[in-house]
Amino acid sequence: MKKLILWLLASLALMSSAQAASLGPAWDKFPQERVTNMAALQNGAKLFVNYCLNCHSAAYMRYNRLRDIGLTEEQIKSNLVFTDAKVGDTMQVALDPKDAKEWFGAAPPDLTVIARSRADGSKGSGADYLYTYLRSYYRDDTKATGWDNRVFPSVAMPHVLWELQGQQRAVFVEAKDPHNPSKSMHVFKGYESISPGTLSAVDYNTSVADLVAFLQWMGEPMQGERVRLGVWVLLFLMGFTIIAWRLNAAFWKDIK
């Protein structure tokens, strides 16, 4: 019986490790405090319109909504609107979906709610995914774009932030398959820098965090207000519960 239990435990461990390997690399934790930092959100908005809005739209977000992150309409118009769009228009792109599909193999998705749609309960939030994804590009000359991604293998999108991050390659080593010693497998060991970018590694990670913070904010601009309102609602319910409890005791005190 003891051997059977040990065998079952070992089998479960092997299944878990195999499942984890099939799900790809673990997601890094996104610094959630960036979502409430106005300077970070403003920098993320700048990065978004400069590097993302060329191909990806945000069709459910209006430019003037950026006033909620501390920008004036004049700042929005002067620094973030590069087309003939008006401040009250939504963030659209001129790229034709048919052309995009022909060039990239698939039309670039709208990014308004991308941070919410990429959430995975077993691995993390959509912000965790995006934060890891934008830092996991590496050079691969076998791909059409010259880039590959550890989180999204064979991704059609090239590394649009490479000038900021620089170029890196993924280092893999041969190792025996723990489930079948007769076979070998590629094991990821890390990244090796090929050429530096305009930002240091720390500054690049911070910039990616700001961009992801903006993408998360864009998916639910009222999330900060919702959290603040939720605190007051919970406090009210706690106070009301105490009052109702004492009223109930007063009403029934003479009844046995």
Per-residue pLDDT of 186-208, as tens digits, reads: 788 999 999 999 999 999 999 99
Residues 168 and 226 in one domain: no
The amino acid present at 15, given as its one-letter code, is M
Residues 192 and 90 in one domain: yes
CATH classification of the domain holding 152: 1.10.760.10
Q: Tell me how many domains the chain contains.
A: 2
Residues 215 and 245 in one domain: no
Pick from 161, 164, 176: nearest CA to 201:
164
Cβ 58 vs Cβ 91: under 8 Å: yes
196 found inside a domain: yes
**Which domain, by its residues, includes 138?**
22-220
> Residue 19 has what pLDDT?
40
* Cα gap 54→24, rounded to integer Å: 29
> Residue 198 has what pLDDT?
97
29 found inside a domain: yes
Q: Which pair of tokens denotes residue 184?
A: 């070998």
**DSSP assignment, residue 111?**
-
147 found inside a domain: yes
Return per-residue pLDDT of the chain as tens, 256 residues: 554 444 444 444 333 433 443 457 899 999 999 999 999 999 999 999 999 998 999 999 999 999 999 999 999 999 999 888 999 999 999 888 888 888 877 889 999 999 999 999 889 999 999 999 999 999 999 998 999 999 999 998 999 999 999 999 999 888 887 777 778 787 889 999 999 999 999 999 999 999 999 999 999 998 878 888 899 999 999 999 999 999 988 888 877 6
- Burial status of residue 102 (CB atoms within 10 A of its CB: 0-12, 13-18, 19 or more): exposed
Residues 242 and 147 in one domain: no
5 found inside a domain: no
4 found inside a domain: no
Residues 230 and 216 in one domain: no
Residues 227 and 123 in one domain: no
Residues 146 and 234 in one domain: no
Residue 232, CA distances (Å) to 34, 159, 229, 256 in order? 23, 43, 5, 37
> Residue 213 has what pLDDT?
97
Quickly count: other Cβ atoms within 10 Å of residue 220's Cβ. Answer: 14
* Cα gap 51→255, rounded to integer Å: 72
Residue whose tokens read 């022909």 = 102
Residues 127 and 31 in one domain: yes
15 found inside a domain: no
- φ, ψ of residue 108 in degrees (nearest 5): -60, 130
Residues 43 and 160 in one domain: yes
> Residue 117 has what pLDDT?
93
Residues 87 and 137 in one domain: yes
13 found inside a domain: no
- Burial status of residue 37 (CB atoms within 10 A of its CB: 0-12, 13-18, 19 or more): middle
Residues 72 and 185 in one domain: yes
Residues 232 and 127 in one domain: no
Which tens digits make up the pLDDT trace of 51-62? 999 899 999 999
